[in-house]
Chain A
Amino acid sequence: MSGGDEELSGFEKRTRAVLKESVTRIDARIRSRLNQARHAALAELEQPARRPFWRSFALAPAAGVVAAVVLAVVLWAPRPGQILPGSEGTASAVEDLDLVADGETFDLIEQEDGGFYEWAVAQADAGQAATS
């Protein structure tokens, strides 16, 4: 080892000594602040990991999701007997169209209510005869 290297290591040794001494002379106020900072960091470690905002939605409890669906159905579905606005004539018109289009209905009238029509015609004839 050259003399220069020895001189250099001696210099380094002195700087180390001064630096280490400066650490031991750090005052109580700074030590207290560092102690508080350390406790704050450790308190952070003790807390449960916080989830990102979007993950809280992805991992929402199933019961909450079900409750939301039920609530939506209750709010949107019509109550029994309730007529929704604008739907008053719609159902009867559809029923009339079915009656017109259904050929069986006329057959029933002819087969089961034929006596009624005969009686009505007879009544009409009897009325006319009485007035004349």
Chain B
Amino acid sequence: MGAFATLASVYNTPVATHGDVDLTDSKTTTGSRALNQFLASVELRAFKIAQAALRHEHDALDAVQDAMLQLARAYANRPAEEWRPLFYRILENRIRDMQRRRTVRARIMAWLPGQRDEDDEEPFDPMSQAQSEEVTPVRRLELDEAMAELEKALHDLPNRQRQAFLLRNLEGLDVAEVAAAMGCSEGSVKTHHFRALKALRARLGEFAT
């Protein structure tokens, strides 16, 4: 039995939404406090979505930070109910920009033999060794394998399929919210989501028996 199937029985209980990071500044206004709560509620999942698309930790962090800044600058005065689809729309645009830039950079680098992309190597940070939860080594290994398989499969999906799948299954948006975030019809969302599921099943199906 593969790692993906092993984890199936372990994670039937829903995972609580994290709220571990809180901003307790007395000067913070009510509006910024609401925005802070919203950003704190989505930042980890947004990072995972960006990482699945970009497969690069630093770029994923940059994309999330840019999306946060743009939301604060341009849409902080909008009703809080609109923040989630707006935020993910901004994030997806940022991810797409980074993918395009990366493509251009790769073409340029191909013309320069012997050049190395410095962004591929990050300095060692001891904080990276700290884990947020206590897990046994075996479970951690299984988790790592399952996540690696799933993340690689997600990365190989077309952008729109991956976006629809992650917004539905990771962020938990309904079809209408995903449509607003993706800027397309609900029918298109259903189609992208269905195709993503089909592709993932075809790839990971052997682990799900």
Residues of chain A touching chain B, judged by Cβ–Cβ distance below 8 Å, are: 8, 10-35, 37-42, 44-46
> Which residues on B are within 8 Å of A, measured CB to CB?
4-5, 7-8, 10-12, 14-15, 18, 20-21, 23, 28-29, 31-32, 35-36, 39-40, 43-45, 47-48, 57, 61, 64-65, 68-69, 71-73, 76, 125, 127-133, 135, 143, 146-147, 150-151, 166, 169-170, 197, 200-201, 204-205, 208
Residues of B within 8 A of A12 (CB): 169, 197
Collect the chain B residues with CB atoms within 8 Å of residue A29's CB: 125, 127-128, 130
Q: Is the CB of A14 within 8 A of B8?
A: yes
Bound CA–CA A30/B200 (angstroms): 27
In the bound complex, what is the Cα–Cα distance between A30 and B131 (angstroms)?
A: 10
Indicate if the CB atoms of B47 and A8 lie closer than 8 Å: no
A42, B32: Cβ atoms closer than 8 Å = yes
Q: How far is the CA of A19 from the CA of B45 in the complex (A)?
A: 9
**B35 contacts which chain A residues (CB < 8 A)?**
41-42, 45
Which 6 residue pairs spanning A and B have beta carbons closest together? Answer: A17-B11, A37-B65, A29-B127, A41-B68, A20-B15, A41-B72
Asked if B130 contacts A28 (CB within 8 A), the reply is: yes
What residues of chain A lie closer than 8 Å to B21, measured between beta carbons? 31, 34-35, 38
Question: How many angstroms between the C-alpha atoms of A19 and B170 in the bound complex?
Answer: 6
Q: Separation in Å of the B47 CB from the closest CB of chain A?
A: 6
Whether the Cβ atoms of A32 and B127 lie closer than 8 Å is: yes
- Whether A23 touches B15, Cβ cut-off 8 Å, given contacts A28-B130, A34-B61, is yes
- Complex partner residue of B72 from A22, A28, A33, A42, CB under 8 angstroms: A42
A40 neighbours in B (Cβ, 8 Å):
65, 68-69
Q: State whether A45 and B31 are in contact (beta carbons under 8 Å apart), knowing that A15-B200, A27-B128 are contacts in the complex.
A: yes
Find chain A residues with CB under 8 A from B47 CB. 26, 30, 34
B117 to chain A, nearest CB (A): 21
A-chain residues with CB within 8 Å of residue B130 when the two chains form the complex: 27-29
Report yes or no: A27 in contact with B72, Cβ–Cβ below 8 A.
Answer: no
Q: What separation, in Å, do the CA atoms of A26 and B8 have in the docked complex?
A: 20
Which of A10, A14, A27, A41 is close to B132, meaning CB atoms less than 8 Å apart? Answer: A27
What residues on B are CB-neighbors of A42 within 8 Å? 23, 28, 32, 35-36, 39, 72
